[in-house]
Amino acid sequence: MAQVERSLEELEREMGAICQSKAEEFHLLGYEQVSADEIWECVSTNYAQEVPPLHKVVNDILSLTVTKFMNWMMMKMYRGEI
Protein backbone atom coordinates (compact mmCIF):
# COMPACT_ATOMS: atom_id res chain seq x y z
CA MET A 1 0.00 0.00 0.00
CA ALA A 2 1.45 3.37 -1.00
CA GLN A 3 1.71 6.01 1.67
CA VAL A 4 0.40 9.44 0.72
CA GLU A 5 2.85 12.27 1.39
CA ARG A 6 1.21 15.27 3.00
CA SER A 7 2.57 18.65 3.92
CA LEU A 8 1.98 20.12 7.36
CA GLU A 9 -0.40 22.69 5.82
CA GLU A 10 -2.51 19.96 4.21
CA LEU A 11 -2.65 18.08 7.50
CA GLU A 12 -3.75 21.23 9.30
CA ARG A 13 -6.68 21.66 6.90
CA GLU A 14 -7.63 17.99 7.16
CA MET A 15 -7.40 17.91 10.96
CA GLY A 16 -9.42 21.09 11.55
CA ALA A 17 -12.60 19.26 12.57
CA ILE A 18 -10.73 16.94 14.94
CA CYS A 19 -8.93 19.89 16.55
CA GLN A 20 -12.27 21.68 16.91
CA SER A 21 -13.72 18.59 18.58
CA LYS A 22 -10.81 18.47 21.05
CA ALA A 23 -11.21 22.21 21.77
CA GLU A 24 -14.91 21.63 22.49
CA GLU A 25 -13.95 18.78 24.84
CA PHE A 26 -11.66 21.19 26.72
CA HIS A 27 -14.52 23.72 26.86
CA LEU A 28 -16.70 21.11 28.57
CA LEU A 29 -13.92 20.65 31.12
CA GLY A 30 -13.91 24.39 31.87
CA TYR A 31 -11.07 25.57 29.61
CA GLU A 32 -13.21 27.85 27.48
CA GLN A 33 -10.43 29.95 25.94
CA VAL A 34 -8.81 27.02 24.08
CA SER A 35 -9.12 27.20 20.29
CA ALA A 36 -8.74 24.59 17.56
CA ASP A 37 -5.73 26.53 16.24
CA GLU A 38 -4.00 26.26 19.62
CA ILE A 39 -4.69 22.52 19.71
CA TRP A 40 -3.09 22.14 16.28
CA GLU A 41 -0.13 24.33 17.23
CA CYS A 42 0.47 22.26 20.37
CA VAL A 43 0.30 18.93 18.56
CA SER A 44 2.23 20.02 15.46
CA THR A 45 5.26 21.22 17.45
CA ASN A 46 6.29 17.55 17.53
CA TYR A 47 6.46 17.45 13.73
CA ALA A 48 9.43 19.75 13.08
CA GLN A 49 11.63 16.95 11.72
CA GLU A 50 9.12 15.12 9.53
CA VAL A 51 5.43 14.87 8.81
CA PRO A 52 4.10 11.68 10.46
CA PRO A 53 1.48 9.31 9.05
CA LEU A 54 -2.14 10.41 9.27
CA HIS A 55 -3.06 7.87 11.96
CA LYS A 56 -0.32 9.22 14.27
CA VAL A 57 -1.54 12.80 13.88
CA VAL A 58 -5.13 11.78 14.65
CA ASN A 59 -3.95 9.80 17.69
CA ASP A 60 -1.85 12.73 18.94
CA ILE A 61 -4.83 15.09 18.74
CA LEU A 62 -7.36 12.73 20.30
CA SER A 63 -5.02 11.67 23.11
CA LEU A 64 -3.98 15.24 24.01
CA THR A 65 -4.66 15.83 27.71
CA VAL A 66 -5.40 19.11 29.43
CA THR A 67 -2.20 18.69 31.46
CA LYS A 68 -0.03 18.30 28.37
CA PHE A 69 -1.75 21.24 26.69
CA MET A 70 -1.35 23.49 29.74
CA ASN A 71 2.34 22.53 30.07
CA TRP A 72 2.82 23.50 26.42
CA MET A 73 1.05 26.84 27.06
CA MET A 74 3.24 27.55 30.11
CA MET A 75 6.43 26.85 28.15
CA LYS A 76 5.19 29.12 25.39
CA MET A 77 4.51 31.84 27.97
CA TYR A 78 7.95 31.45 29.57
CA ARG A 79 9.56 31.87 26.13
CA GLY A 80 7.58 35.09 25.66
CA GLU A 81 5.60 33.77 22.70
CA ILE A 82 2.25 34.77 24.22
CB 15 within 8 A of CB 58: yes
pLDDT at 68 over 80: yes
Percentage of the chain modeled with pLDDT above 70: 93
Q: Of the candidates 28, 22, 32, which has an alpha carbon nearest to the alpha carbon of residue 68?
A: 22
Domain ranges of the chain: 8-78
Mean pLDDT of the 29-41 span = 95
